[in-house]
């Protein structure tokens, strides 16, 4: 891993929060992600299961975590299983976690090798009444590919059919939504790295550069600052492509007079950042581009003012829609009659602003959390309004990440140029 060591007390606290919410006599089991194949003997880069990482800090394949708060043997209340390393693995793949380094990483005292998993599980299953099994229960999850957790759920129910089984995801999704100070620190680091990359490309962008050249400049700055890279597939969309919400080809020339929409963010310590800026290729917005930019920025600032603890995201987004409607009328894109005759299930503003305003962010860029409960203090959300005018080859979106505190909403990206004048000034420097 490129990131600096994380204090194990974060993971100690996270496990404690989960175990306090588990049913009496219950055992929870979490599996690492697979290393997925590409072709021949190739593999994709390993990315840890975020729930296992959240609870242990272990960033290694073929790892299993078991939590059994009421285990009769105190040593079995937190157990970590690791792939046993040897000289051949060290030669070919490098150093793996030892029992000592695993304790230093996670704060878990009982560390066994993976070969002892089934024997230990059999003992603990006889002592447990309820088994918590993990699953990816994200609203947008595409579960076409089986994970180790998926395979384990099936195997465990077949092997031990008489136990009570419960879902752990609803508990973890709620816990992960509210961040510990150490998590905010890592997210701030990810945002700071993103800021360095933005400053770099603001001085690089000019007519004639290719979108992928901008992507390369960003990646360079990420890597040199201990980031693994992009927290998600980057969008570098110039001209009409900025009106394609998930444009990821990044293969077009940036032309004078166009605006580039960059939706990018660095990852640090497995935590994501998520930023969008809209940049004039020539270094200066046209009058119309600036007019649309200022409208988006107005909505952005009003959204920030109301994203507070206690608000429900659906209500929040409806109010943001009202702000956007006002701006679209000012821009001549909607009329009062359009609004009067709108379909309440698909308001008129949706023609130009068709996505949500905010989402949770954390270990996942679209992080887990309950969108139907009031926002809790300690959550982190994006704010990302946009206006997309296909007829004008113009898409403007602005996005920063915000920590929702008890008394104030803190912009983790406040140091990154956002105002149109600041964007233009940075491009000239």
- Between strands 78-82 and 110-113, the pairing is parallel
Residue 19 host element (H or E): helix 9-21
Cα separation, 61 vs 47, in Å, equals: 8
Cα separation, 6 vs 57, in Å, equals: 8
Nearest Cα to Cα of residue 328 among 350, 303, 313? 350
Helix intervals (H) in 146-265: 148-159, 169-177, 181-202, 211-223
User: Residue 51 gets which letter from DSSP?
Assistant: H
CB 372 within 8 A of CB 378: no
Write out the catalytic residue numbers. Answer: 41, 246, 263, 274, 355, 359, 366, 384, 388, 397, 399
CB within 8 A of 329, min separation 6: which ones? 335, 336, 339
How far is the CA of 40 from the CAs of 37, 44, 409, in angstroms? 8, 12, 49
Cα separation, 361 vs 401, in Å, equals: 8
Name residue 64's beta-bridge partners.
Answer: 31, 81
Nearest Cα to Cα of residue 355 among 324, 401, 394, 333? 324
CB within 8 A of 377, min separation 6: which ones? 178, 309, 404, 405, 406
């Amino acid at each position: 891993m490129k990131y600096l060591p994380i204090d194990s007390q974060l993971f100690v606290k996270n496990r404690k929060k989960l175990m306090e919410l588990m049913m009496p006599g219950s055992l929870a089991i979490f599996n690492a992600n697979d290393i997925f194949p590409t072709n021949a003997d190739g593999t994709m880069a390993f990315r840890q299961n975020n729930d296992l990482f959240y609870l242990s800090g272990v960033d290694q394949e073929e790892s299993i975590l078991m939590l059994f708060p009421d285990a009769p043997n105190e040593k079995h209340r937190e157990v970590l299983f690791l792939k046993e390393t040897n000289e051949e693995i060290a030669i070919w793949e490098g150093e793996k976690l030892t029992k000592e380094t695993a304790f230093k990483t996670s704060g878990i005292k009982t560390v066994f090798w993976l070969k002892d998993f089934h024997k230990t599980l059999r003992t603990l299953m006889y002592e447990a009444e309820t088994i918590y099994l993990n699953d990816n229960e994200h609203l947008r999850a595409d579960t076409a590919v089986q994970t180790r957790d998926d395979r384990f759920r099936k195997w465990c129910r077949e092997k031990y059919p008489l136990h009570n089984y419960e879902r752990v995801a609803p508990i973890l999704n709620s816990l992960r939504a509210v961040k510990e100070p150490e998590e905010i620190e890592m997210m701030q680091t990810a945002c700071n790295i993103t800021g360095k990359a933005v400053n770099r490309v603001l001085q690089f962008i000019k007519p004639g550069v290719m979108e992928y050249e901008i992507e390369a400049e960003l990646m360079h700055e990420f890597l040199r600052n201990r980031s693994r890279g992009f927290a998600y597939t980057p969008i570098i969309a110039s001209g009409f492509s900025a009106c394609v919400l998930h444009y990821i080809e990044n293969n077009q020339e940036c032309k004078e007079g166009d605006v580039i929409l960059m939706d990018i963010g660095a990852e640090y310590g497995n935590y994501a950042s998520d930023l969008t800026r809209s940049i004039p290729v020539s270094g200066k917005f046209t009058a119309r581009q600036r007019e649309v930019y200022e409208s988006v920025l107005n909505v952005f600032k009003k959204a920030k003012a109301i994203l507070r603890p206690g608000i429900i995201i659906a209500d929040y987004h409806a109010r943001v829609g009202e702000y956007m409607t006002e701006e679209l009328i000012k821009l001549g894109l909607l009329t009062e009659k359009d609004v009067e005759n709108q379909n309440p299930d698909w308001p008129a503003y949706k023609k130009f602003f068709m996505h949500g305003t905010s989402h949770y962010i954390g270990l996942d860029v679209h992080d887990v959390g309950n969108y139907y409960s009031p926002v809790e203090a300690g959550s982190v959300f994006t704010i990302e309004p946009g206006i997309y005018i296909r007829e004008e080859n113009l898409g403007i979106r602005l996005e920063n990440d915000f920590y929702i505190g008890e008394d104030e909403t803190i912009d983790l990206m406040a140091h990154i140029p956002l105002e149109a004048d600041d964007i233009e000034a940075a491009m000239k420097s």
